[in-house]
Structure formats: C-alpha cells, structure tokens
Amino acid sequence: MPVLPSPSLLAVDWGTTALRGALLTADGAVLAERAAPRGLLSIAPGGWAAAFEAEFGPWLAAHPGLVCLMAGMVGSRQGWSEAAYCPCPATLADLAGALLWVQPGRVAIVPGLCTDAQGVPDVMRGEETQVFGALQRLGLVDATLVLPGTHSKWVTVRGGRITGFNTHMTGECYALLRQQSILARTLPADDSAWVAEAFDRGVARALTPGGLLHHLFSVRTLALFDRDDGPALASTLSGLLIGEELRAQALPAGQAVVAVGSPALTARYQRALVLLGHEVHTVGADAGWAGLLALAGRLPQGGTP
Amino acid sequence: MPVLPSPSLLAVDWGTTALRGALLTADGAVLAERAAPRGLLSIAPGGWAAAFEAEFGPWLAAHPGLVCLMAGMVGSRQGWSEAAYCPCPATLADLAGALLWVQPGRVAIVPGLCTDAQGVPDVMRGEETQVFGALQRLGLVDATLVLPGTHSKWVTVRGGRITGFNTHMTGECYALLRQQSILARTLPADDSAWVAEAFDRGVARALTPGGLLHHLFSVRTLALFDRDDGPALASTLSGLLIGEELRAQALPAGQAVVAVGSPALTARYQRALVLLGHEVHTVGADAGWAGLLALAGRLPQGGTP
C-alpha cells in the first residue's frame, strides 16, 4: 500500500466572489483542492473565522501543525483583517516578512502591493503572489508580466523585485459594454462564438487614432450597416479593449511578456501581443499556489513568525 | 386686443426616450411648446402615426396647412419610417432635398447623416439639424462643433457643408462607470455636488500617458487611500472621460469650438476646452428649432415636395 505524501502547506486564494484552497506538498503537488462561491461579498463582518473553519477546519485538523497562507481580497479593509499594502519595490522576502497572522503560527494573509505614479496610487491583492509563482515556474528574475482580468495588472520585475505595476479596468469595461450598453443590442448573449479575425480587426483599430470612446461606436455602426454579425462584433469589442490596453501600455518593441491567468483570457492577450510582435509565455492561474509555496519556504522553521 | 402671430412650422425633435415639439413663427419665436416621455422605446411598431396625432393633432387642426418637420431617431429603422442617411459632405439643401414625407405635404422626417473613415461608418440623427441651426444663429459657415451627450458628436463644417464627423460614447460610458462599475461604490448617488478643481485634475490626467482604462482606476485608488471624497471623485471621473475625448480628438492648437447642447453639459466641455487653450462658443439645444426652420425655408412654396 503506497504511503500518501503529507501536505506541507494549505494554500488559499480568497477573492471578491470566490474562494479556492489546495493542500500542497513541498514540491508543489496538489493533494486536494476545493472551491466555493464564498467570496468577500458573501461573508458578513465578523464571519471570516467561522467561514474559514467551515471550509478548511477538517483539513487542518487532519494535519496538525500545517500552516495556511491566504492571498487576495481576504486581506482588504472589507476582508478578514486588513493587511497593509507593501510598497514597491518589493521582493518575495518583503512579502514573507509582512505576513499578517490572523491565527498565530496557523493562518496568515499575504499583503497586497501598492505603488505610486505622479501622486496617483495603484494597488493589487493576490496578483503579487501569482507573479512570484510565475517567476519561479519560469526561472526568471527579470520580466514584464500581464495578469488579465476584471482589473488587468501589468507588472515589471527586475532582479527578482517587483519594481512597479499598473492596473487597467479592461475586463470590467468589457463586461459593462458587452452586457449593458447600446452595443449589447446587436451582440449574442455569450462569447461562445469566437471570431479570431474580428478580434484582430479590433486590436488593429484600437492602435489607430480616434480614441477608445470613438472606436467603441464602430461596434454599433458596423451592425447598423450589416457589415459584421453579432459574434464577430463581440470579438471586435474584445479586441478594441485589449488593443487599447496594449496601446496605452506602450511596450518597447520586441519586449517579451509573461501572461498569467486562465487559458481563455491569456489566449486573447497572447494573440494581441503576438500581432504586435511580442513573444509571449503563458502561465496558468495556479501560479498562485507556487507563489504561496515559495512564501512558505521563507517562513522560520516551525512556521511561526 | 393684440393679434397673435401665426405659426409657420411645427418643429419636432423625436428621440430615443423623449419627444419635444414647438410651434414656431417665421422668425423663430416659440408660440407653444410641449414635451412628453414618448420616445422610440415607448412606441410599438405601427403606432407612430397615432402617437403623433395624439400629441400634435390638435395643433395641426387649429392651423390648417401647417407643415411639420421632425428630426431624430423617428427616422431610424425602429422609428416611424426609415429615412436613409445622407452621406457627407452634406449641405442644408441636401437635407431639404432628402426629407422623407410620411404624410405628403404635412409631416416629414429629416434624414440623419453618415460618413466613413477607413471603412468604418459613423452616423448621426438629429444632431445635423442642431448643427445647421447653431451655424445660422452664430452666422458661421466654417466651424468645429461638439454636441455632447450619450454619444457625443464632433462635426466639421466648411463653406456651410458638413464635411465629416465622429462619435464618442462618452456620456454612455460615464453613466455605466458612474452607476454600475466598482467605482460607483465610493461615489455619491447624484452629480449635484460639482467640484471644478477635481474635474480639472481628471482632464489633466487624461492627457498624460497611461490610457483611459488605467486612469479610470485612479478613481478607485484615490478613494482607497482617502485622498479625495466622493463628490470630488465623481467630478474627476467626468473630467477623465471628457479629457480622453479631447485627447483623442486632437484639435489643432487654438482651434475655436462651438458647443451645442444643454448648459449643464456644454459647461463641462467648455471648461475642459478652455483648459486646453481653446475658445468656445455655446449654443443651447434649441438650436434644433432654428435648424428645422432653416430647412422649412428651403421647401417649395406650399410646403409640398
């Protein structure tokens, strides 16, 4: 009878709408995983410890001494406990040194990062952990990364240090325009029909003068004149928004990019980036597990701070 | 007892959500005006003539032979009858020659305009009439005009001819972001508290590199760090969107602009344009009445086509 390996970390990604957890071995194998629609929005103030025990108490009881590290909105002002943002530049060691232990020696929250450009702050919570995980997977200490999503993050890493980042509200704007604007009237209900060439046209148009607020209206007028059908126009809208993000990001020519996230999302960014002449490496969203494991490796023996 | 002047035109602006009508004298005086929330969205197919009679039948009965000219979405595919777009360049005479008579000699629809840039069409319905009215009010034959709104229009006029235009979805994006995005969480319910300096900061920020999708997120982070309050941030959001529209429009330095519309909207555009060094003339939305009257002056005697 084979001996089951023991877990060395309970890794948790606790976000705005969902929670995911995994029991990881020291070399990153996933022994068990669970997900629940129990994000920040569904947990009443004061209800965090109880929600945590309901989801993960049995695992921790079965593995005495196991440490849990959590990333994401769980550390926000509306979360379990507010973990102050680490300022950039920040290393993995900086994050490990700033863990917020909500149950000493047992459960800690990874702080997010903040940065400041011309007096305007920017923030992330959760992506920092995915970034360090992706770097470790790819063996990189210098990289430009994009983490597409509701609020896409572009992250610069130099010498293993996150030196800066910025956020684009691309996914949220896409959802609003896709579902609730006048454009929605001629678009299909979902994105199941993907038209790659129409996406490419959107990316290319976003790079021409005119501005996003103008280019968006083309989705309306091309429908009015029956020049494109609904599925094509939904793909064009996606291309317009991702193309605008890339236009604004203004990457140096030939800059390689690491795209971290779900395959459906990173595939769109990869396609747009390749159109613009960039080499792209993709890493799945489970890079977050690798990041939490790397953080756990920085803890003092015994796991206590 | 004074003799009441007779009306020489029933002017109607029939849009997506509302309808307005006015009895005008030959010199543009408004003898009577009425408005109703009976726009395109509230009228069933085939119900247009009945809706028209309910609103304006008594006026026309009281003034036999009076002609009615209508501008706006009443001429769209979902309207009373589809008035094909006039292609640019277009003069007032071109519009007069393309009126669509839904009741010959009695009721006509002014067609909208279309244009084409790099294979992408753009359209307007109703604004063309306001443009010609504003030109007449100001005695201009050359102008750059902006008609702010849900879908802002920028219009170029040379020698009394609309040579081209483009649309920005500024007002619609503002409403979506203001009410339904994550930004809405920290903004007040309405725009009654206007903070001019915060608007100016939004305009200025929109002109810096970073792109609209990035700059929008500053409304979130400035709230997170308590650097601005809700009313200020709502004004900043407005400035970011109008500033992005102006950045993309890329007017020549010192270009004078005619802003046509309600005082609340044109005041914001005027402020942003003046910040960028442009001279601005404002004209009220009732420029549409002057435009319809000018069109009526082009009709053959008797009003019949």
Question: Which of A120, A151, A247 is the best substitution to test chain B (most B C-beta atoms within 10 A)?
Answer: A120
pLDDT band at A303 (very low <50, low <70, confident <90, very high): very low
- Over 70: is that where the pLDDT of A1 sits? no
Chain A, 70-129: which have a CB under 8 Å from a chain B CB? 77, 117-118, 120-123
Q: What is the pLDDT of residue B222?
A: 97
SS3 per residue for A37-94: CCCHHHCCCCCHHHHHHHHHHHHHHHCCCCCEEEECHHHCCCCCCCCCCEECCECHHH
Q: What is the pLDDT of residue B303?
A: 47
CB-nearest partner of B167 from A151, A166, A217: A217
Instruction: Check if A170 contacts B (Cβ < 8 Å).
Output: yes
Question: Which of A82, A150, A154, A169 is the best substitution to test chain B (most B C-beta atoms within 10 A)?
Answer: A169
Torsion of CA B76, B79, B83, B89, to 10 degrees: -30
- Over 50: is that where the pLDDT of A192 sits? yes
Average pLDDT in the A69-89 region?
A: 97
Distance, in Å, from the CA atom of B154 to the CA atom of A241, rounded to the nearest integer, reads 22
Q: Which residue has the tokens 């109607």?
A: B12
Contact at CB, A222 and B120, closer than 8 angstroms? yes
The CATH class of B9-136+286-296 is alpha beta
Q: Which residues of B touch A227 (CB under 8 A)?
A: 121
% of residues, chain A, pLDDT over 70:
97
Sort strands B113-117 and A113-117 into parallel, antiparallel or unpaired. Answer: unpaired
Contact at CB, B172 and A166, closer than 8 angstroms? no
Q: What is the pLDDT of residue A63?
A: 95
Q: What is the pLDDT of residue A225?
A: 95
Q: Which residues of A touch B87 (CB under 8 A)?
A: none
Q: Which residues of B touch A146 (CB under 8 A)?
A: none
B179 touches A176 (CB < 8 A): no
Contact at CB, A168 and B208, closer than 8 angstroms? no
Nearest chain A residue to B228, by CA:
A120
Q: What is the pLDDT of residue A3?
A: 67
DSSP state of A16: S
Q: What is the pLDDT of residue A110?
A: 98
CB-nearest partner of A151 from B122, B167, B217: B217
Q: Which residues of B touch A168 (CB under 8 A)?
A: 211, 213-214, 217
Q: What is the pLDDT of residue B52?
A: 97
Contact at CB, B248 and A173, closer than 8 angstroms? no
Residue A193 CB neighbours (<10 A): 12
Distance, in Å, from the CA atom of A147 to the CA atom of A257, rounded to the nearest integer, reads 10
Contact at CB, B214 and A167, closer than 8 angstroms? yes
Q: What is the pLDDT of residue A101?
A: 98
* Mean pLDDT for all residues in chain A: 95
Distance from the Cα of B175 to chain A's closest Cα (Å) equals 10
pTM, to two decimals: 0.95
CATH 3.30.420.300 residue ranges for chain A: 9-133+288-296
CATH 3.30.420.300 residue ranges for chain B: 9-136+286-296
Q: What is the pLDDT of residue B74?
A: 97
Q: Which residues of B touch A206 (CB under 8 A)?
A: none
Q: Which residues of B touch A244 (CB under 8 A)?
A: 211-213
Q: What is the pLDDT of residue A206?
A: 98
Distance from the Cα of B70 to chain A's closest Cα (Å) equals 21
Q: What is the pLDDT of residue B301?
A: 60
Distance, in Å, from the CA atom of A21 to the CA atom of A57, rounded to the nearest integer, reads 12
Contact at CB, A172 and B166, closer than 8 angstroms? no
Global ipTM: 0.95
Q: List chain B residues with pLDDT less than 70.
A: 1-3, 301-305
Distance from the Cα of A169 to chain B's closest Cα (Å) equals 5
CB-nearest partner of B169 from A166, A167, A216: A216
Instruction: Check if A207 contacts B (Cβ < 8 Å).
Output: no
Sort strands B107-109 and B100-103 into parallel, antiparallel or unpaired. Answer: antiparallel
Distance, in Å, from the CA atom of B140 to the CA atom of B133, rounded to the nearest integer, reads 10
CA distances from A69 to A58, A158, B89 (A): 16, 25, 65
What are the two backbone dihedrals, phi and then psi, of residue A164, each rounded to the nearest 5 degrees? 180, 170
SS3 label, residue A186: helix
Instruction: Check if B252 contacts A (Cβ < 8 Å).
Output: no
* Residue among A274, A191, A154, A155 nearest B213 (CA): A154
CB-nearest partner of B245 from A167, A213, A244: A213
CATH of B170-283, one of 3.40.50.1860, 3.40.50.1970, 3.30.420.310, 3.40.50.2300: 3.30.420.310
Note the pLDDT tens digit of each residue in A47-64.
999 999 999 999 999 999
Contact at CB, A211 and B244, closer than 8 angstroms? yes
Q: What is the CATH number of domain A9-133+288-296?
A: 3.30.420.300
SS3 label, residue A10: strand
Q: What is the pLDDT of residue A2?
A: 62
Q: Which residues of A touch B118 (CB under 8 A)?
A: 208
CATH 3.30.420.310 residue ranges for chain B: 170-283
SS3 label, residue B206: helix
Q: Which residues of A touch B225 (CB under 8 A)?
A: 121
